[in-house]
Structure 1
Amino acid sequence: MKKIYTLFSALCLAAAAPGTLSAQNNFKLVEESVSNPDNTPAPVYPVPSERQLKWNETEFYAFFHYGMNTYTNEEWGSGMERETVFAPTQKPDPRQWLEVAKKAHMKGGIAVVKHHDGFCLWPTATTEHCTRNSSGYGKNVDIPKEFADAAREFKMKYGFYISPWDMSSPYWGKKDSNGKYTDEYAKKVFLPQCVELAKYGNDQFEMWFDGATGGDHAGGYGSYTSSQKRTIDNAQTYYDIPNLRDSIHNLLPNVIMWGVGGEARWIGNEEGYSGQTCWSMGDAESGDENAWQWAAGESDAKSTKGWFWDSSKYNQPKSAETLFKMYLETVGRNATFLLNLPPNRAGLIDESLVTIMEDLGKLLDQRLGTDLAKTAKVTTDCTREAMGKGNYDAKNLTDGNKDTYWAAPDGRTSAVIELSWDTPQTVRYVSLMEYIKLGQRVKKFKIETSEDGVTYTERGNGQTMTTVGYKRIIPLNGSTTNYSASGFKAKSVRITIENAKACPLLHTVEVF
């Protein structure tokens, strides 16, 4: 609080309270709150919402493509498959799926519960094309329930993929006698399905909506066949997206509605990499520094050749080394990493893929598991003044608390951070995290190491050191492909922020 002394004229005071004041009592103490008592940095817009922040913190999570296509050896079904074709050879086990994901240090998963063929992996009230009409182990299977229960058991985040496009529904793309699209599909099928899924738990973190609406895929009602030629000309209107967003957000306050919500973006490929320059707003791999809406990137990628399991064509898993590279090029480049692990016809992840996930977890532990910054002395060439409850000290960079951060003073768009040890350390990676609650700022930086604390050598050559965002991991040898076994000896690591949109803010620096 600051104290402001205001002079009142004796005449005015006397008028306010006649006979109670004298000429010697002409001052009154007024307390007025300061607008920024903690000297908090002003935000750089756009900034993420609370649910966008929580979503970004998931970082690495699994995709589970499982359904009718698993039993037909197809990537895209027709919508005309008999329900009894969905025939698991034993009871599907979503608990095992998430257990495997956890071995690779994933923090959650998204289960595909309705693909474009329209078959629903739960006994929905919206269509007969669902597990209610399957047989054997498939009859009345409720994958969303099993998946949500398992996620809560493992304390992992969870969500569901539901295809808006539906080749099994006679309502999809249907027109009335005047040639206008009817709203029957949205009202009778799609929105009710989303609401049904929302009821499996209000703690869901993501609901995934694919943008596909046909193509050269022969199939049922909702397809571009020569006889049907059904299509839609405006998905936003046809699927009643504004109503969908409001309805689902009311039920699931922390869910990110991927593909329709305007809250996160497709990174622009399905290959497991984002742009080395990657803004959390805009489109595709690199984003756009000047875009007005926060939409961090998500990179979805396959661990096998195809999205769905198929022993004859697609079950060719990538190596742990390849997946580690993809991790560096997604999570390490300000994107989230959604890695597909396709269950087989027993409703289980193949043992070969289980082993690879275990190996990936070991690589992450070995290479990014021991943070040398925790034992370093941290100094900066400038620090924002602490006022009130505000604390912007350099020690916040290594305290392991995402809610504390170092900040430069207003007017500074460059700064130097130095981590030093009494004896040389072997270093291979540096990880930086901006305090994105107040916006993404860093536009250019560099990293140097010194073995003697005097002479410095620039590292990470070959890496474009522009943006940081939620997280940026720089391999000091400059390669995301080749692991530096010998590393670099360093008594000091120096990070120079060369340019930023406003005073830079970092909440974490890690050295591995």
Structure 2
Amino acid sequence: MKRSTKLLALLALSLPLLGLLTSCEGAKQSTYYTQRVDFPEGATLDTKVEMASQLIPSEKQQAWQELELTAFIHFGVNTFTNQEWGDGTEDPAIFVPEHLDTDQWVRTLKDAGFRLVILTCKHHDGFCLWQTETTDHSVKSSPWRNGEGDVLRDLSASCKKYDMKLGVYLSPWDRNAASYGTGKDYNDLYIAQLTELLSDYGDIDEVWFDGACGEGPNGKVQEYDWERVFETIHKLQPNAVSAIMGEDIRWVGNESGLGRETEWSATVLAPDSYPESDSLYKALDINAMSEDLGSREMLAKAGSLYWYPSEVDVSIRPGWFWHPEEEPKSLKQLSDIYLQSVGRNSVLLLNIPPTRDGLLDERDVKRVGELGQWIRQLNEQRAATEDLAHEIRVGGSVVTELDPDMQVGVILLQEDISRGQRVEKFHVDGLMDDGTWSQIAKGTTIGYKRLLPLEVQAKYSKIRLVIDEGRGSSVFIRHINALVLPPLSSSELADDMPGITPISKQGWTVSSVSPLEILFGRELSVQGLIYTPAKGRDATTLPFTYLLEGSEDGKSWKPLARGEFSNIVNNPIPQKIKLDRVYSLRGMRLTGTTVEGHGVPLEESEVVLY
């Protein structure tokens, strides 16, 4: 769903301001650069590292980072078609969420500790969930509430009621709009839609774009007018951050819920919508999915550095929209995601999709509540007797006293990012019973927050943070603590495909791989197929569209199902094809086509029949 294609860029509006602040480090005053710093031509690496240590977030970027937990709501016509990506031909009459209750959505999220919720106001299918004047492909053409329903209006009211921040997702790609791919005409429509969203629904705190892009009816890819987009946001919602193609927040680079072990907010990666991004990516050989986005090696080659923090988007279910056959992730999976997103200098954006009734699925409500309770327990059980801020010289250390009776399982570290992200390498020692220090954790970056699960939970009277490498002469640590790891039930197991009994592959013969043609050697009763991309399969060879055919005699073939594995490039999870009935077959043939329209060879090991 997310950044599958690099979008063309704009003239960057106002480059972020260089903030001139002062701070006492010894007797020396330091200059701080807000959101962007440009290195002087011919600057040495030492000069670049020093300037990088003084790059800080804007006020709204820091406020966003402190949210930590945010929620996505994927809801629309795809909910009713059981698809991930609609094609824009959907009949608005199918959108009838009879029991829509946005209070239930927000109350569930608030109770679990979430602080912002983002609604997919328009996904790639172009169907609008608000009363727009720009298209009839919207709720006003639905029989729901006699065409007068407005999902965003309801959600805005619920957010005010429960003191929840509100964000809007507006897909630039629109598979319904006839003007898509024409240039100015579509840009005018898009700006009109954005203006409606930012004018009529109160405070908007985050505006979320999407990198997914495709050809319009005229066969041309749309060139977006990002300059007008950002001008509109700055004018109508100046306190809102813009994400994913936006200026303030970047995509982490995967949809698995994982931040990097080394996660820089001070990064050489420019926003995709900036004009220099294309040439910069080529010169540095990087993209949003690269592992190294801010090392000294990167600084040596870079001309600029951006404060561009990471947002980790992941769904509580295998898909982004609600599908009745899917189950939520286990609490074990979600707690690991929390530790590897919020705990790796990122904000977690967890998707919880409503059902066709317009309610959050009770299974998801239960799991989100469990996650919220687990996070509260983790953060409440702190062993440090004092939680103090520290300025630590690079190469130096600081000791924190703990309650010796508490068995700790996670080390919590936070930098004061209002004074930059400076730590490059660190380790943590625990004081042993014999009075010696022993290393219990180590890492590279810290940033806003780092959570380090210990290999062995133990009791310590003291821990020692050692700054092995850093930028500038000192680093600024806001919090050092040790947390008790809440227990998980041993019954917490993942089950993404419940109720499915795989058919034995004994006796199967593969006749070809493009398309993948398999003869069973016997008659089988087949209800569906699950395609799981092989590990290591290159994204350019992933099937985007598919045709599934069956044979009753092993010779002649008839189509059984066709469609899209819509978001498989960014989220290569198992893809389920459920047939309209059970078929008696002696063979199957699966044809896969890439996003570019090329046939792709498939492997028998990637296919399960049930």
Shorter-chain TM-score range: 0.7 to 0.9
How far is the alpha carbon of 1:423 from its aligned partner?
3.9
Q: Are the counterparts in 1 of residues 75 and 354 from structure 2 also a CA contact under 8 Å?
A: yes
- Aligned partner letter, 1:292: L
For residues 271 and 343 of structure 1, do their structure 2 counterparts lie closer, same or farther at Cα, with a shift above 3 Å needed? same
Could you say which residue in structure 2 is the equivalent of 1:406? 390
Within 1, Cα distance between the matches of 2:84 and 2:146? 20
How far is the alpha carbon of 1:94 from its aligned partner?
1.8
Residue 247 in structure 1 maps to residue 232 in structure 2? yes
Could you say which residue in structure 1 is the equivalent of 2:458? 488
How far is the alpha carbon of 1:142 from its aligned partner?
1.2
What's the secondary structure of 2:153's corresponding residue? helix
Which segments of 5 or more consecutive residues in structure 1 lack a partner in the other structure?
1-34, 175-181, 215-221, 377-397, 400-404, 478-483
Q: Does 286-295 or 346-355 show the bigger shift?
A: 286-295
Q: Are the counterparts in 1 of residues 404 and 459 from structure 2 also a CA contact under 8 Å?
A: no
Q: Does 262-271 or 413-422 show the bigger shift?
A: 413-422
Within 2, Cα distance between the matches of 1:495 and 1:423? 17
What's the secondary structure of 1:148's corresponding residue? helix
What's the secondary structure of 2:364's corresponding residue? helix
How far is the alpha carbon of 1:186 from its aligned partner?
0.8
Within 1, Cα distance between the matches of 2:136 and 2:402? 66
Residues 22-33 of structure 1: pairs in structure 2 closer than 5 A: none
How far is the alpha carbon of 1:201 from its aligned partner?
4.5
Within 1, Cα distance between the matches of 2:146 and 2:342? 36
Report % sequence identity: 34
What's the secondary structure of 2:306's corresponding residue? coil
What's the secondary structure of 2:64's corresponding residue? helix
Q: Are the counterparts in 2 of residues 334 and 470 from structure 1 also a CA contact under 8 Å?
A: yes
For residues 423 and 210 of structure 1, do their structure 2 counterparts lie closer, same or farther at Cα, with a shift above 3 Å needed? closer
How far is the alpha carbon of 1:68 from its aligned partner?
0.7
Could you say which residue in structure 1 is the equivalent of 2:58? 49
Question: Which of 408, 412, 418 lines up with 1:427 in the alignment?
Answer: 408
How far is the alpha carbon of 1:451 from its aligned partner?
3.9
Q: Are the counterparts in 1 of residues 383 and 402 from structure 2 also a CA contact under 8 Å?
A: no
For residues 286 and 471 of structure 1, do their structure 2 counterparts lie closer, same or farther at Cα, with a shift above 3 Å needed? farther
Residue 194 in structure 1 maps to residue 205 in structure 2? no
Deviations 1:31-70 (A, max 9, x none): xxxx867956554243211111111111111110000100
Within 2, Cα distance between the matches of 1:251 and 1:414? 47
Deviations 1:239-262 (A, max 9, x none): 210121022112112211112322
Structure 1 or 2: more strand by fraction: 2
Q: Are the counterparts in 2 of residues 87 and 138 from structure 1 also a CA contact under 8 Å?
A: no
What's the secondary structure of 1:427's corresponding residue? strand
- Aligned partner letter, 2:479: T
How far is the alpha carbon of 1:299 from its aligned partner?
0.9
Within 2, Cα distance between the matches of 1:192 and 1:70? 25
Within 1, Cα distance between the matches of 2:403 and 2:106? 43
Q: Given the two structures, how large is their TM-score scaled by the length of structure 2?
A: 0.64
Could you say which residue in structure 1 is the equivalent of 2:308? 295
Question: Which of 446, 449, 452 lines up with 1:474 in the alignment?
Answer: 452
For residues 430 and 42 of structure 1, do their structure 2 counterparts lie closer, same or farther at Cα, with a shift above 3 Å needed? farther
Residues 118-267 of structure 1: pairs in structure 2 closer than 5 A: 118-137=126-145, 139-174=147-182, 182-187=183-188, 189-201=189-201, 203-214=203-214, 223=216, 228=217, 230-232=219-221, 238-267=223-252
Within 2, Cα distance between the matches of 1:49 and 1:183? 32
Q: Are the counterparts in 2 of residues 453 and 492 from structure 1 also a CA contact under 8 Å?
A: no
Q: Are the counterparts in 2 of residues 427 and 511 from structure 1 also a CA contact under 8 Å?
A: yes
Within 1, Cα distance between the matches of 2:220 and 2:447? 39
Q: Does 38-47 or 244-253 show the bigger shift?
A: 38-47
Within 2, Cα distance between the matches of 1:154 and 1:510? 31
Within 2, Cα distance between the matches of 1:348 and 1:206? 23
Could you say which residue in structure 2 is the equivalent of 1:279? 264
Q: Are the counterparts in 2 of residues 131 and 138 from structure 1 also a CA contact under 8 Å?
A: no
Deviations 1:314-362 (A, max 9, x none): x221011110000100100011111110100011111011111111112
- Aligned partner letter, 1:346: D
What's the secondary structure of 1:318's corresponding residue? coil
Q: Are the counterparts in 2 of residues 48 and 437 from structure 1 also a CA contact under 8 Å?
A: yes
Deviation beyond 6 Å, 4+ runs, structure 1: 35-38
Within 2, Cα distance between the matches of 1:45 and 1:139? 53
Within 1, Cα distance between the matches of 2:406 and 2:126? 56
What's the secondary structure of 1:428's corresponding residue? strand
Q: Are the counterparts in 2 of residues 276 and 286 from structure 1 also a CA contact under 8 Å?
A: no
Which segments of 5 or more consecutive residues in structure 2 lack a partner in the other structure?
1-21, 33-52, 270-287, 484-610
Residue 438 in structure 1 maps to residue 419 in structure 2? yes
Question: Which of 86, 90, 113 lines up with 1:81 in the alignment?
Answer: 90
How far is the alpha carbon of 1:230 from its aligned partner?
2.4
For residues 451 and 365 of structure 1, do their structure 2 counterparts lie closer, same or farther at Cα, with a shift above 3 Å needed? farther
Residue 500 in structure 1 maps to residue 489 in structure 2? no
Within 2, Cα distance between the matches of 1:100 and 1:361? 10
How far is the alpha carbon of 1:169 from its aligned partner?
0.7
Could you say which residue in structure 1 is the equivalent of 2:123? 115
Within 2, Cα distance between the matches of 1:201 and 1:136? 20
Q: Are the counterparts in 1 of residues 95 and 144 from structure 2 also a CA contact under 8 Å?
A: no
Q: Are the counterparts in 2 of residues 275 and 333 from structure 1 also a CA contact under 8 Å?
A: yes
How far is the alpha carbon of 1:113 from its aligned partner?
0.9
- Aligned partner letter, 2:192: P
Deviations 1:156-214 (A, max 9, x none): 2210111111111111113xxxxxxx411111x10011111112455322111111112
